[in-house]
Structure 1
C-alpha cells in the first residue's frame, strides 16, 4: 500500500514518530532543501500540518537520509533488526494484524535457532555436506565477528559492533560470497537470541519510522516505498516475486549448482530449492554475474546467456549496457519500475475476472497463494485486496505450475500457442478499462509506459484516443455527450471536441489537449480556438454554462493567463484530476455529476472529492 494511502488511514498520534524523524532530517540540511522548503512554505505549522500527499513527496526527497538513519540502527546489534526487516519486506507482509506478526516472528526465531544449531553441528562434523572451502569461509567470518563483538567486553564495555567494525564485517561477507541467511546464521551462533515481547518489538519499529501501527485496527502497515528502502538496507536488489520469476526460467542443474554453493538441502524438490534460494538472500547481482553459468564460461558466453534469459524468458528486449554489470543493473531498474507503477498490466475488472475463473478451475489456488504470501485472510483471491499488498496478476500466474496453467487455459478457451502467461494476460486485458486506467499516460503521450502496461498504440492515434476516453469518463459522470448535436454545430473551420448537452439550450464545451512536454503553456493558441467555439455556440442561441480544457498539466504562466481572461468562463482540469473525480463519483451517492462543482480556474480535486463523499 502506498505511503499516502496509509497516512490517510491513520490519526496524527499514529503518524507522529515517522513525522518526527523526517522533521529531524529536514533540520540537518538534507540534499533537496529547495523542493522541501517550497512544500513547507505553504504551511504555517510545519510538517505536521502538511497534507499526506506532500508528506509522501517529502519522504521521497529525504529518502537517502532516511535510509542512513535506518542503517545507523543496525549498530545496536542485539536489536534483531535484520530478522524483523526480513519478515516485513517479504511479499505479502506489508499489512499484518498484531497477532499474525507475532506468530511470524516467533516462527522465524524458532527456525533460526534450529538452523543455527545445525550449522554449529556442521562446523564440528567432518562428514557434513559443507565443502572444505565453504567451511573455511564460514570460520573466517565467524572468527572476525567474534572478535568484533567480544573485544568490548575485554575492555570493560558493553558488547556491541561499531559502525566501522560493521562496515568491515559486511565487506568481508561480500568478498566471501556469503548469502544474507548464511551471515544471519553465523551472527546468531555468537549473539544471544531470544523471543522479545511483541509490543516492544512493534514499539521499536514504530519509533524508528519503519512501520505504522493502527491501535484501532491492531494492524501494522509498511508502505511500499519503505519496503523498497528496507530492501536496499538489506542489500536485496529485487522483490521476491521478481527473483522467483527469474529463477523459474533456469534449468534444474543450474538451480542445483546454486543450492550446493549455498548449503541448501539437496533433497528438496526443484520448487522448494527455488524458495530456499530466495530466502537465503543470495545477491541477485552475484547470481547473474557468476552463479547461473556453467563452470568456465567466458564473458561473451555469459552475456549471451543473460540476453537470452531476458529476451526469451522475461520478454525484455534491448537491455541497456555493454558490460555484464550494466545489463544486470538495467534489469534491476526494469523490475523497480514495474513495482513502482500502480498499473497492473490488465484492467481491474480483468484482474477480478481472472481471479474468479482461476478459483473455479484451480480450487486449491486460494490456499496456495495465502501460504506463499503469508496472508492472514481466509479468502485472498480479490483484486483490490491483493493490490493493497502490491501483488499483481503476473505475480499470481508466476506461482502456478505448468500443468495447472495448461488446465486453466483449456478450461477458459485461452490461446494455447506461445507463452502461457502472456496469453492469459492478453485474454483478460479488457482494453477499454485498461485505457481508462492509463488515461494520464495517454494525455502525456507516454508510449513507453503504455507499452509496459499492455497497450500497443500508434503515437498518431493518441490525440483521438484521449478524446474518446474523455467522452467515456463524462458519460460515466452522468452527462449527455451529444455527438449528434455537436456535429450539427461544427463547421469546417470550428470543430468542438466534446459537447455536453444539459438541455434547455445549455451546454458545456470540452476541449482535449495531449502533450509530451511538461506544463501545457500554449494559452494564446488555445484561447483563440475556444473563443471561436464560444462564438459558434452563441450564434446558435446556446447558453455556455462552462468551457473545460483537459490536458496532462498546465504551466504557471498558462494558469495566470487563464485567470486574467475576462471573455470566457473557462476552467482547467488535469487528466489525473478528471480520472480521480471519476473514481470518486462511482463511489458516491450521485447519479449525475453536479456540474456546479466546476467553478475553480484550476479544478480543485480535493474539494470536489470531499463534496462527492458527503
Structure 2
C-alpha cells in the first residue's frame, strides 16, 4: 500500500514518530532541501500540517538520508533489526494484524535456532555437504565478527559493533559470497537470540519510523516506498516475486549448483530450492554475474546468455548497457520501475475474472497463494485485496506450475501458441476497462505510458478515444448520451462531441480536449467553438442546462478567462475529477447523477464527492 494511502487511514498520534524522524532529517539540510522547502513553503507549521500527498513526496526526496539513519540503527546488534526487517519486506507482509506478525516472528526465531544448530553441527561433521572452502569462509567471517563484538568487553565497554567495524564486516561478507541468511545464522550463533515481547517489537519498529501501527485496527502497515528503502539496506536488489520470475527460467542443474554453494538441501524439489535461494538472500547481482553460467564461460558468452534470459524469458527487449554490470543494473532498474507502476497490466475487472476462473480450474491455488505470501485471510483470490499487497496478475501466474498453466489454458479456450503467461494476460485484458484506467494518459496523449500499460494506439486516434471514454463515463453516470439526436443537430461546420439529453428539450453539451502540454490554456479558441454549439442548440429551441469542457487540466489563466465569460453557462472539469466522480457515483445511492452539482466554474471535486456519499 502506498505511503499516502496509509497516512490517510491513520490519526496524528500514529504518524507522529515517522513525522518526527523526517522533520529531523529536513533540519540537517538534506540533498533535496530546496525541493522540500518549496513543498513546505505553503505551511508555517512545518511537516505536521502538510497534506499526506506532499509528506509522501518529501519521504521520497529524503529516502537516501532515511536509509543512512536506519543503517546506523544496525550497530545495536541486539535490536534484531535484520530478522524483523526481513519479515516486513517479504512480499505479502506489508499489512498484518498484530497476532499474525507475532506468529511470523515466533516462527522465524524458532527456524533460526534450528538452523543455527544444524550449521554448528555441519562445522563439526567431516561428512557434511559443506565443502572445506565454504567451512573456511564461514570460520573467517565468524572469527572476525566475534572479535568486532567482544573486543569492547576487553576494554571495559558495552559490546557493540562500531560503524567502521560494521562496514568492514559487510565488505568481508560480500567478498566471501555469503548470502544474507548465512550472515544472519553466523551472527546469531555468536549472539544468542532472545525472543522479545511483540508489543516491544512493534514499539521499536514504530519508533524508528519503518512501520505504522493502527491501534483502532490492531494492524501493522509498511508502505511500499518504505519496503524499497529497507530492501536496499538488506542488499536485496529486487522484490522476491521478480527474483522468483528470473530463477524459474534457469535449468535445474544450475539451480542445484546455486543451492550447493549456499548450503541449501538439493534433495528438495525444484520449486522448494528456488524458494530456498530467495529466502537465503543470495545476491541477485552476484547470481547474474557468476552463478548462472557454465564453468569457464567467457565474458561474451555471459552477455549473450543474459541477453537471451531477458529477451526470451523475461520478455524484456534491448536491455541497456554494454558491460555485464550495466546490463544487470538495467534489469534491476526495470524491475524497480515495474514495481513502482500502479497499473495492473489488465483491468481490475479482468483481474477479478482471471482470479475467479483460476480458482474454479485450480482449487488448491487459493491456499498456495495464501501460504506463499503468508496472508492472513482465508480467501485471498480477490483483485483489490491482492493489489493492496502490491501483488499483480503476473505475480500470481508466476507461481503456477507449467502443467497447471497448460490445463488452465485448455479449460478456458485461451490461445496456446507462444508464451503461456502472456497469452493469459492478453485474454483477460478487458480493453474498455483498461482504457478507462488509463483515461488520464489518453487525455495527456502519453503514448509511452499507454504502451507500457498494454495499450497500443496511434497518436492520431487519441482525441477520438478520449471522447469515446468520456461518453462511457457519462453513460455510467446515468445520462442519456444521445448520439442520434446529436447527429441530427450537427452540421459540417459545427460538430458537438457529446450531447446529454435530459428530456423536455433540455440538454448538456460536453466538449472534450486532449493536450500534451500541462495546463490547457486555449480559451479564446475553445470559447468561439462552444458559442457556435450554443447557437446551434438555441436555433433548435433547446434549453442548454450546462456546457461542460473536459480536459486533463486547465491553466490558471484559462480558469480566470472562463470566470469572466458572461455568455455561456460553462463549467470546467478535469479528467481526474470526472474519473473520481464516476468512482464515487458507482457506490452511491443515486441511479442518475444529479447534474445540478455541476455548478462551479472549475468543478469542485471534494464538494461533489461529499454530496454523493450522503
Question: Is TM more than 0.5 here?
Answer: yes
Q: What secondary structure is seen at the aligned counterpart in 1 of 2:414? A: coil
Query: Is 2:183 aligned against 1:183?
Result: yes
Q: Distance in 1 between matches of 2:329 and 2:600?
A: 45
Query: Following TM superposition, by how much is the alpha carbon of 1:418 offset from its aligned partner in structure 2, in angstroms?
Result: 1.5
Q: In structure 2, what is the equivalent of residue 610 of structure 1?
A: 610
What's the RMSD between the two structures over aligned residues? 1.8
- Displacement of 1:427 in angstroms is 1.5
Mapping of residues 110-149 of structure 1, within 5 Å: 110-149=110-149
1:401 deviation in Å?
Answer: 0.8
In structure 1, the residue matched to 2:249 is 249
Which consecutive unaligned segments of at least 5 residues does structure 1 have? none
Post-superposition shift, 1:574?
2.4
d(CA) in 2 for partners of 1:140 and 1:343?
Answer: 47
| Secondary structure of the structure 2 residue equivalent to 1:213 | strand
User: Separation in 2 of the partners of 1:528 and 1:491?
Assistant: 16
Once the two structures are TM-superposed, the CA of residue 445 in structure 1 deviates from its matched residue by: 2.1
- 2:14 maps to 14
Rounded to whole Å, the distance in 2 between the matches of 1:593 and 1:469 is 17
Equivalent residue of 1:509, what SS?
A: strand
Shift of 1:349: 1.2
Matches within 5 A, 1:376-395: 376-395=376-395
Shift of 1:89: 0.7
Q: Distance in 1 between matches of 2:388 and 2:161?
A: 38
Partners in 1 of 2:47 and 2:3 — Cα distance? 15
1:447-490 deviation line (CA, Å, top 9, x unaligned) = 23222322222222121111101110111111221222222222
The answer for the alignment partner of 1:235 in structure 2 is 235
Measured in 1, the distance between the counterparts of 2:206 and 2:35 equals 27
The aligned counterpart of 1:220 is 220
The residue that corresponds to 1:282 in the other structure is: 282
TM-aligned CA deviation for residue 566 of structure 1: 4.1
| Matched residue SS, 1:68 | helix
How does 1:22-171 map onto structure 2 within 5 Å? 22-171=22-171
- Work out the CA distance in 2 between the residues paired with 1:596 and 1:256: 68
1:372 aligns with 2:372: yes
Aligned mates of 1:472, 1:214 — CA distance in 2:
39
Secondary structure of the residue that 1:25 maps to in structure 2? helix
Match of 2:353 in 1: 353
Give the C-alpha shift of residue 301 in structure 1: 1.0
CA distance in 2, matches of 1:270, 1:126: 27
Matched, 1:428 2:428: yes
TM-score (ref. length: structure 1)? 0.96
Structure 2, gaps ≥5 residues long: none
Alignment of 1:344-493 (within 5 A): 344-493=344-493
412-421 vs 276-285, which moves further = 412-421
**Offset at residue 97 of structure 1 (A):** 0.9
The corresponding residue for 1:206 is 206
Q: Distance in 2 between matches of 1:329 and 1:576?
A: 35
In 2, the alpha carbon distance for the partners of 1:394 and 1:206 equals 32
CA deviation string 1:164-187 (max 9, x = no partner):
221221122112211111111111
Q: How much does 1:564 deviate? A: 4.2
Q: CA deviation at 1:363?
A: 1.0
**Greater shift in the superposed pair: 552-561 or 198-207:** 552-561
Distance 1:604 1:335 in 2: 38
- Alpha-carbon spacing, 1:332–1:553, altered in 2? closer, same or farther (3 Å): farther
Q: Which residues in structure 2 correspond to 1:328-339 (within 5 Å)?
A: 328-339=328-339
Deviation at 1:576, TM superposition (A): 2.1
Quote the residue 1:579 is aligned against. 579
Query: Aligned partners of 2:575, 2:546: CA distance in 1, in Å?
Result: 18
